[in-house]
């Protein structure tokens, strides 16, 4: 008997040590991984260790009365820790299988309920001396039956869900065996608890339990290892993914697009289908970054990529080629699909973007080409789509399909781009000046700076010969800044040489006027050349104002506060109205020369000019008439009370050398 006691004590102690070590190993895993199921498994093994330690003490003190307080408390600790072990172990397994986290409160509730149940079962017949069998039923038969149910249920559940690792198969099998073991034991215990040999059965099951607990413990470890490996793999995959994808939007990058295209083209021709290569460019995206900040910009790019990927037409490729340009490739059979796809793309982009409670609106331009119609290499097709996009943008059209004549222009632009940049470096551009005459004082009001290109081969070029190219190449900002610099230098120079300040009006394109850097860079120029701001005037067209009224308004107010004048050029040809202009603090309205041209012969033009002058004066703006070519026109304008005139009749645009002669007079 004494021997048996020692043997049992050792048995449970060994158990406790093994599970203690397993719990420690799992703890290490948990620190490395931090996954929820490892945490609960680790707690469950701690509970198991506690139960085995309690059993060790119980086995050692087995001779004392089972109804003594010490024995009841030990039994309670044993039961409750074992219940908690089973519940936490199964919860961990459930989480590991479903790979979904479980809210902490559920875990606490389940573990707490098991804990309470265990104590309830322990205490029911705890101090009733005669009820040996009832006590046995509550502490052994009933719990074992419940565990059997739980393990079988878990085996069934894990069988229904896809196996996560090899160890989940091992666990399934051991659960079935385990569940059976508990059922068998609870059956046996109901019928044969009184048999003499039953204590041998209990010993057998005790050994069995060591084995099965060990199996469970080691399956957990194997499972962990599998998880570790797959985590490492997914980290590697992620690194690869990031290498090949653009990390901001998760779309393919340029190389990846080029890599993927050949396969798509092969597939398409095999199935007698075509590919459309859409290239999207988000309009004025730069301003999103400038106005709302880079974070908003990044968010929007990600959102655009997501919309494109999830789009109805199920694109074969969504890639981001650079900052705000995306490629969208889709397979089609009939041409009609293209116009629908285009509408869809524009709608996708135009849907408002919500960020920080703001609704941001965007538009895009699309250029596209077809495989195999336009080319059979990925590189070529992207280039052609890009060329088409370029055309769409420079003509302000929403979408443009590639056509062969674009290529000619493309080559032309490529050559011109080099030439224009070189011309700026070599200072081949020259400013001509056209005087503006004040009709009230009959004196020079100022001059308008008009650019000319002293082309090394083609001679003196006028703006209409190269400005369209500058525009198409998006070099307007560079050119405008170049002209501004030249104009300021001229003002300073004349002041030095002739002691007089001459106002110079400079034409500013829409792109440049919307650039937030415009105001600070003008400020810097004025400081550098020591020019008072009121001798610089900027000419913008109505369309600049209409594109974005608020931002134009802000810029004009800023310029005016600095003392710089702003006038509206080519008035009457755009789509604004004087009603809009009323709100703007502009100084001057320049009536377009087309109205002046016919004014003497055409009554309706005369009426228009008359009312333009009257309305402008009503709004407190000065009026200048452009393109005055005859004495008659000048006389009419005088009677209409026009403030100033400019045109060939006064003077053509002249070189600086000629203008200086005029000063000297
Ligand atoms: P604009 O701003 O309307 O400039 C007036 C244009 O009308 C000038 O042509 C001028 O030579 C012409 N003009 C002046 N008086 C008369 C006239 O009595 N009759 C006729 N038929 N034409 C007259 P230019 O110099 O060829 O400039 C054409 C356009 O190029 C300008 O129109 C302006 O929009 C643009 N431009 C010229 N220089 C610059 C510049 O430095 N920067 C920018 N961004 N644009 C410029
Ligand atoms: Ca002008
Ligand atoms: Ca004009």
Domain that holds residue 399: 254-403
Output 218-222 pairs: Cβ under 8 A, ≥24 positions apart.
219/167, 219/170, 219/171, 219/174, 220/22, 220/26, 220/41, 220/45, 220/167, 221/22, 221/25, 221/26, 222/165, 222/166, 222/167, 222/170
Residues 362 and 496 in one domain: no
How far, in Å, are 341, 493, 601, 614, 632 from residue 607 at the CA level? 48, 42, 12, 11, 16
Where does residue 388 rank: exposed (0-12), middle (13-18), buried (19+ CB within 10 A)? buried
Report the residue among 463, 504, 624 best suited for mutation to probe ligand 1: largest number of ligand atoms under 8 A from its CB.
463
Alpha-carbon radius of gyration of the chain: 43
Task: Find the range with the poorest average confidence among 243-247, 435-439, 489-493, 562-566.
Answer: 243-247
Q: What is the pLDDT of residues 253-262, one digit of tens each?
A: 888 899 999 9
Residues 541 and 638 in one domain: yes
Helix, strand, coil percentages, rounded to 5, for the chain: 65, 15, 20
Task: Find the range with the poorest average confidence among 178-192, 267-281, 575-589.
Answer: 575-589
What ligand 1 atom has the least distance to the C-alpha of 629? 18
Q: What is the pLDDT of residue 163?
A: 60
Structure tokens at 425: 């470096």
Asked if the model's pLDDT at residue 165 lies above 70, the reply is no
The residue from 403, 438, 461 where one domain ends is 403
Asked if 646 and 437 touch (Cβ cutoff 8 Å), the reply is yes
In a domain, 245, yes or no: no
- The structural domain count of the chain equals 3
Euclidean distance between CA atoms 272 and 371, whole angstroms? 11
Angle, helices 378-394 vs 463-472, to 10°: value is: 130
The residue from 370, 403, 436 where one domain ends is 403
pLDDT: is 552 or 4 the higher one?
A: 552
Q: What is the pLDDT of residue 125?
A: 82
Residues 102 and 144 in one domain: yes
In a domain, 408, yes or no: no
CA 80 to centroid of chain Cα atoms:
51
Asked if the model's pLDDT at residue 240 lies above 70, the reply is no
Average pLDDT, the chain: 87
Asked if the model's pLDDT at residue 30 lies above 70, the reply is yes
Residue 258 neighbours by CB distance under 10 Å: 16
Residues 381 and 465 in one domain: no
Distance 452 CA to ligand 2 centre (A): 14
Euclidean distance between CA atoms 146 and 561, whole angstroms? 84
Euclidean distance between CA atoms 574 and 590, whole angstroms? 12
Average pLDDT over residues 30-54: 83
Asked if 44 and 154 touch (Cβ cutoff 8 Å), the reply is no
Residue nearest to ligand 1 atom 11, measured at CA: 653
| CATH (domain of 510) | 3.20.20.450
Ligand 1 pocket, residue 487 CB under 6 Å: no
Backbone region of residue 79 per phi and psi (left: phi > 0; alpha: psi in -120 to 50; beta: other values): alpha
Residues 158 and 221 in one domain: yes
CA nearest neighbour of 463 among 451, 455, 475:
451
> Helix (H, G, I), strand (E, B), or coil: what is residue 401?
strand
Residues 483 and 522 in one domain: yes
Residue 436: band (very low, low, confident or very high) from pLDDT cuts 50, 70, 90: very high
In a domain, 129, yes or no: yes
CA nearest neighbour of 210 among 374, 19, 77:
19
What is the 8-class DSSP label of residue 462?
Answer: P
Ligand 1 pocket, residue 434 CB under 6 Å: yes
Ligand 1 pocket, residue 470 CB under 6 Å: no
Structure tokens at 595: 């109205």
Ligand 1 pocket, residue 483 CB under 6 Å: yes
Residue 390: band (very low, low, confident or very high) from pLDDT cuts 50, 70, 90: confident
Residue 205: band (very low, low, confident or very high) from pLDDT cuts 50, 70, 90: confident
Q: What is the pLDDT of residue 278?
A: 96
Tokens 């479980």 sit on residue: 102
Q: What is the pLDDT of residue 577?
A: 62
- Main-chain dihedrals φ then ψ at residue 131, nearest 5 degrees: -90, 60
Euclidean distance between CA atoms 506 and 581, whole angstroms? 20
The residue from 372, 403, 434 where one domain ends is 403
Residues 465 and 520 in one domain: yes
Structure tokens at 156: 């069934």
Euclidean distance between CA atoms 62 and 79, whole angstroms? 16
In a domain, 249, yes or no: no
Give me the residues paired with residue 301 across strands.
none
Q: What is the pLDDT of residues 319-343, one digit of tens each?
A: 998 778 899 999 999 988 999 999 9
| CATH (domain of 294) | 3.30.70.270
Q: What H or E segment, with its residue span, contains residue 282?
A: strand 274-282
Residue nearest to ligand 1 atom 14, measured at CA: 647
Structure tokens at 283: 């309009």
DSSP states of 4-15 as a string? HHHHHHHHHHHH
CA nearest neighbour of 141 among 179, 190, 176:
190
Structure tokens at 215: 């199996």
How far, in Å, are 10, 138, 330, 634 from residue 71 at the CA level? 19, 15, 76, 120
Structure tokens at 83: 């219940």
Ligand 1 pocket, residue 507 CB under 6 Å: yes
In a domain, 247, yes or no: no
Q: What is the pLDDT of residue 182?
A: 84
Ligand 1 pocket, residue 138 CB under 6 Å: no
Asked if the model's pLDDT at residue 29 lies above 80, the reply is no
How far, in Å, are 320, 452, 519 from residue 416 at the CA level? 28, 16, 29
| CATH (domain of 28) | 1.20.1070
Ligand 1 pocket, residue 569 CB under 6 Å: yes
Give the dihedral sign, CA 551/557/560/566.
positive
DSSP states of 571-609 as a string? ETSSS--HHHHHTS---EEEE-HHHHHHHTT-HHHHHHH
Q: What is the pLDDT of residues 518-540, one digit of tens each?
A: 999 999 999 999 999 999 999 99
Tokens 């900002």 sit on residue: 477
Give me the residues paired with residue 566 across strands.
538
Asked if 466 and 507 touch (Cβ cutoff 8 Å), the reply is no
Residues 357 and 503 in one domain: no
Residues 223 and 275 in one domain: no
Q: What angle do CA 395, 396, 399 make, to 5 degrees?
A: 95
Ligand 1 pocket, residue 504 CB under 6 Å: no
Asked if 430 and 451 touch (Cβ cutoff 8 Å), the reply is yes
Asked if the model's pLDDT at residue 66 lies above 90, the reply is no
Structure tokens at 19: 């599970």
Report the residue among 420, 450, 633 best suited for mutation to probe ligand 1: largest number of ligand atoms under 8 A from its CB.
450
Average pLDDT over residues 161-175: 71
Residue 528's contacts (CB-CB under 8 Å, 6 or more residues apart) are 488
Report the residue among 507, 574, 596 best suited for mutation to probe ligand 1: largest number of ligand atoms under 8 A from its CB.
507
Q: What is the pLDDT of residue 177?
A: 85
In a domain, 246, yes or no: no
Euclidean distance between CA atoms 41 and 38, whole angstroms? 5
Which ligand is nearest to the Cα of residue 647, counting in written order?
1
How far, in Å, are 51, 471, 516, 522 from residue 512 at the CA level? 78, 11, 9, 12
Asked if the model's pLDDT at residue 1 lies above 60, the reply is no
Asked if the model's pLDDT at residue 154 lies above 90, the reply is no
Residue 570's contacts (CB-CB under 8 Å, 6 or more residues apart) are 541, 542, 590, 592, 626
Euclidean distance between CA atoms 514 and 555, whole angstroms? 8
Ligand 1 pocket, residue 449 CB under 6 Å: yes
How far, in Å, are 76, 148, 376, 565 from residue 269 at the CA level? 75, 61, 11, 61
Q: What is the pLDDT of residue 584?
A: 84
Structure tokens at 140: 């052994």
Q: For ligand 2, a single-atom ion, which residues have Cβ within 5 Å?
A: 507, 539, 569
In a domain, 295, yes or no: yes
Residues 223 and 268 in one domain: no
Average pLDDT over residues 630-657: 97
Residues 309 and 258 in one domain: yes
In a domain, 483, yes or no: yes
CA nearest neighbour of 474 among 439, 514, 527:
514
Asked if 83 and 117 touch (Cβ cutoff 8 Å), the reply is yes
Give me the residues paired with residue 252 across strands.
245, 319
Tokens 């920080």 sit on residue: 356
Residues 387 and 452 in one domain: no
């Amino acid at each position: 008997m004494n021997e048996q006691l020692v043997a049992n004590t050792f048995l449970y102690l060994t158990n406790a040590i093994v599970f203690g070590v397993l719990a420690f190993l799992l703890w290490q895993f948990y620190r490395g991984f931090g996954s929820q199921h490892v945490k609960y498994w680790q707690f469950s093994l701690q509970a198991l260790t506690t139960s085995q330690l309690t059993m060790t003490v119980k086995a050692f003190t087995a001779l004392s009365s089972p109804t003594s307080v010490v024995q009841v408390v030990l039994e309670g600790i044993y039961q409750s820790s074992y219940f908690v072990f089973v519940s936490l172990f199964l919860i961990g397994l459930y989480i590991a299988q479903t790979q979904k986290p479980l809210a902490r409160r559920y875990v606490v509730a389940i573990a707490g309920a098991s804990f309470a149940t265990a104590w309830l079962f322990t205490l029911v017949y705890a101090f009733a001396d005669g009820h040996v069998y009832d006590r046995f039923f509550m502490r052994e038969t009933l719990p074992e039956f419940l565990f059997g149910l739980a393990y079988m249920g878990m085996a069934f559940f894990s069988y229904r869900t896809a196996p996560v690792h090899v160890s989940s198969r091992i666990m399934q099998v051991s659960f079935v065996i385990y569940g059976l073991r508990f059922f068998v034991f609870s059956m046996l215990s109901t019928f044969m608890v009184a048999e003499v040999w039953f204590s041998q059965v209990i010993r057998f099951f005790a050994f069995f339990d060591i084995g099965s607990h060990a199996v469970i413990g080691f399956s957990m470890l194997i499972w962990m290892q599998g998880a570790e490996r797959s985590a490492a793999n997914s980290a590697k995959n992620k690194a690869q993914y990031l290498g090949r994808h653009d990390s901001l939007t998760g779309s393919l990058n340029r190389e990846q697009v080029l890599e993927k295209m050949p396969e798509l083209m092969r597939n398409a021709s095999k199935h007698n289908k075509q590919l459309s290569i859409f290239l999207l460019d988000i309009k004025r995206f730069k301003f999103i970054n400038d106005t709302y900040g880079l974070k908003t910009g990044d968010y929007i790019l990600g959102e655009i990529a997501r919309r494109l990927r999830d789009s109805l037409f199920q694109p074969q490729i969504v890639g981001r080629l650079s900052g705000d340009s995306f490629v969208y490739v889709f397979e089609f059979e009939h041409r009609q699909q293209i116009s629908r796809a285009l509408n869809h793309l524009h709608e996708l982009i135009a849907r408002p973007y919500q960020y920080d409670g703001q609704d941001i609106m965007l538009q895009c331009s699309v250029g596209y080409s077809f495989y195999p119609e336009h080319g059979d290499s990925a590189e070529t097709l992207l280039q052609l789509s890009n060329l088409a996009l370029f055309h769409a943008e420079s003509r302000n059209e929403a979408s443009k399909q590639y056509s062969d004549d674009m290529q000619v222009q493309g080559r032309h632009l490529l050559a011109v781009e080099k030439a224009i940049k070189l011309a700026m470096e070599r200072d081949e551009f020259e400013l001509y000046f056209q005087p503006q005459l004040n009709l009230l004082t009959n004196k020079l009001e100022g001059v308008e700076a008009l650019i000319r290109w002293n082309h090394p081969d083609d001679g003196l070029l006028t703006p209409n010969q190269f400005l369209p190219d500058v525009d198409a190449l998006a070099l307007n900002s560079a050119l405008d800044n170049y002209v501004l610099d030249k104009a300021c230098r001229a003002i300073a120079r004349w002041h030095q040489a002739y002691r007089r300040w001459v106002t110079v009006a400079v034409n500013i394109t829409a792109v440049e006027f919307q650039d937030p850097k415009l105001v600070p860079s003008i400020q810097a120029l004025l400081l550098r050349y020591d020019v008072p701001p009121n001798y610089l005037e900027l000419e913008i067209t109505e369309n600049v104002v209409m594109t974005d009224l608020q931002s134009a308004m802000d810029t004009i107010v800023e310029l005016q506060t600095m003392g710089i004048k702003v006038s509206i050029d080519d008035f009457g040809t755009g789509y604004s109205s004087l009603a809009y202009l009323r709100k703007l603090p502009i100084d001057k309205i320049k009536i377009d020369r087309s109205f002046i041209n016919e004014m003497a012969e055409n009554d309706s033009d005369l009426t228009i000019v008359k009312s333009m002058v009257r309305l402008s004066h009503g709004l407190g703006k000065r009026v200048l008439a452009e393109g005055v070519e005859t004495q008659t026109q000048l006389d009419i304008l005088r009677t209409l009370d026009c403030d100033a005139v400019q045109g060939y009749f006064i003077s053509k645009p002249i070189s600086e050398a000629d203008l200086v002669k005029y000063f000297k007079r």
